Structure 1
Amino acid sequence: MTAIRRTSLADQAAELLLARIQSGEWPIGTKLPGETTLAPMFDVGRSTMREAIRQLVGRGILVTRQGSGVFVESIDEARTDWDKVLQRAHITAVLEARLAIEGEAAGLAAARRTPTDLDAIRGSLEVRNTARPDAVDLVEADMAFHRSIVVASHNDILLELFDSMAPRLRDAMIDMLKIKGTFGEDADHDAHTDVVESIAAREPERAHNLTRAHLLELSKSMAPST
């Protein structure tokens, strides 16, 4: 078992997983073991392992295939033009991109979600609720919650776009919450609950509008002072 030092567990897990991929343990095209298998191998929890995988998806090392799992796409971290755009972009620009991606995904999820999708969304909402006291836990749970909705849209392109932005967004959100000092308010949780209920009720327009309204508020709160 490989022990992980303190600081960012997800970042360290991602680097250790990348090192093992580059060593040939999982060649290109290989399907990775599931999170429940990988997490103990790196001495981290499932949510941390999930975030590490998400980071490597965003970096082009791994690829998620709907209904099949996570596969090794490359052993080299080639920095693409898209990666460079995300690195340069102010977080408000990334949030504006989320408006397009997640607003559409929420509407599609309301129309296309399966009972299994809805169970996953409700489960991730509950995890998010319990994570509210801690900034890092809340951000990781929040990203997992929003990703579960994108998954329920059954649109692979929207999912790839979300995954590519996730590492950039995660770090900025954690920094913002730590600076803000207060987070996880009941009103914020209620806004997320309303989105879930609109998806459960199969109300695409309401799900779309509620998601956009939430992200617009978030974007305003993170806008630079003038």
Structure 2
Amino acid sequence: MLRPSPLVEQAAAHLREQITAGVWPVGAKLPGETTLARELGVGRSTVREAIRALTGAGLLRTRQGAGVFVVATEPAEDLRARLRRASVVDVYEIRMMIEVRAAELAAERRTDEDLAVLDAALAARNRAVAEASDEVFVDADIALHVAAVTAAHNPLLADLFAEFVPVLRAGLLDLVRLVDARAADAEHGRAAHAGLVRAIRDRDPGAARAVIDAELRQTLAYLQGG
């Protein structure tokens, strides 16, 4: 019998041990809630919450009218965990996919409020190129890109991009410190980012796409050692 607290965590851990040990292999159907509650010495509501937790971890799946089945023996790795161990180049390639489409949507959907945010972010980035520390420069650069993604008015897209920001920040800081990226950015970067904001202002999805694609490809080339 399990200790009284925390019951859900203990129940989930016990069920996971049973799955990992092969008591219930992939494809197996778990016993009913009543049976599991009796075996674990807890209430059915506790069993239900434990099953919900393991379902969220990708180990179990509930089939309506059929029961609960084992679908994996190891928990699914969430996006943040994958990003932490991914290479910055891999992350950057996905960033390009997100931002190119986001720029197009921003050009189609932007509001006057979005433009005000983009203008302020662009001004802050321009100041940071020459005047600020590496950290402030990278943060200002990312803030402008966040503003562009936000202007696409797709909350899921914005949330997905936000997941990438910590890894992007670390990679860009390394890049700035390893090569004279800020000096190279002084002309090209200013023009490219101003062009992005202008394309969004002009509601020109094609131009927005072209500008952000070229800008991100250049940074990816730096990251790849080109």
TM range (shorter): 0.5 to 0.7
Whole-Å separation in 1 of the counterparts to 2:193 and 2:225: 25
SS at match of 1:132: helix
Aligned to 1:57: none
Whole-Å separation in 2 of the counterparts to 1:128 and 1:135: 12
| Offset from partner CA, 1:52-88 (integer Å, 9 cap, x none) | xxxxxxxxxxxxxxxxxxxxxxxxxxx9521121112
Aligned to 1:106: 103
Q: Is residue 83 from structure 1 mapped to residue 87 from structure 2 by the alignment?
A: no
Whole-Å separation in 2 of the counterparts to 1:182 and 1:91: 16
Amino acid at match of 1:136: E
Q: Of 114, 117, 120, which residue of structure 2 is paired with 1:120?
A: 117
Whole-Å separation in 1 of the counterparts to 2:225 and 2:82: 19
Aligned to 1:180: 179
Count, aligned residues: 147
Q: Is residue 146 from structure 1 mapped to residue 142 from structure 2 by the alignment?
A: no
Alignment of 1:42-57 (within 5 A): none
TM score, norm. by length of structure 1: 0.62
Whole-Å separation in 2 of the counterparts to 1:160 and 1:153: 12
Deviates more, 1:180-189 or 1:134-143: 180-189
Give the superposition deviation at 1:177. Answer: 0.2
Aligned to 1:160: 159
| Offset from partner CA, 1:77-134 (integer Å, 9 cap, x none) | xx95211211121111111111111111110000000001011001100000111133
Name stretches of at least 5 consecutive residues in structure 1 with no aligned partner. 1-78
Give the superposition deviation at 1:185. Answer: 1.5
- Larger Cα Rg: Structure 1 or Structure 2? 2
Whole-Å separation in 1 of the counterparts to 2:129 and 2:120: 15
CA contact 2:175–2:222 (8 Å) conserved in 1: no
Q: Percent identity?
A: 33
Q: Of 114, 127, 132, which residue of structure 1 is paired with 2:129?
A: 132
Q: Which runs of 4+ in 1 moved over 3 A?
A: none
Amino acid at match of 1:215: L
Q: Is residue 194 from structure 1 mapped to residue 195 from structure 2 by the alignment?
A: yes
SS at match of 1:162: helix
Cα RMSD over matched residues?
Answer: 1.5
Aligned to 1:216: 217
Whole-Å separation in 1 of the counterparts to 2:109 and 2:181: 35
